[in-house]
Amino acid sequence: MKNTIALIMLLMPLMVSAQGFPGGDPQQMQVMMQKAKEMQACMQHVDQVKMQAFQQRAQRMGEEVKALCAAGKRDEALNTAISYSQEIAADSAMKEVKRCAEIMKGVMPDLSADISDYKDDGSEQHICD
C-alpha cells in the first residue's frame, strides 16, 4: 500500500503537466491529494499478504507464458494467461483493489483497467506477439 501511494505521489507532477495544467493548479492538486488519501484508506482494507503473493505469482506466470511462447505453444500460452486473468478478476482482494482504484477515476489514468478479466476485443494481436 505504501508503494501505491508513493507511486501516486511520484506521478502527480507528470499527471498535472500531461493534463495541461502549467505549473499545477493548486485546486486540482488538492483534489488529487484528497483522492490519494481516500484511496490509501481504502487500500488499508486489502489483504497485503495476498497482494504480494499475487505479484510474485504474476511474475512466475509471465515467465511461464514467455517460455510457452518461445516453445511455440501459442494456444497454451494464451489459455494460461486467460485462466490466470480470470482467477485474479474473481478474487475478492482484487475486487477490493479495483473498487479502491475507482476513487482515482477522473484524476489519474484508469488504474482499474489492469484489473479485469480477459475480454476478447477482436484484436488480431496474440499474447506471444
Does the reported pTM lie above 0.85?
Answer: no
Element spanning 53, H or E: helix 48-70
Q: Which three cell numbers stand for residue 38?
A: 481516500
pLDDT > 70 fraction of the chain, expressed in percent and rounded: 68
What is the band of 77 on the pLDDT scale with cuts at 50, 70, 90?
very high
Is pLDDT of 30 > 80?
yes
Q: What is the pLDDT of residue 109?
A: 59
Give, for 17, the enclosing helix (H) or strand (E): helix 2-18
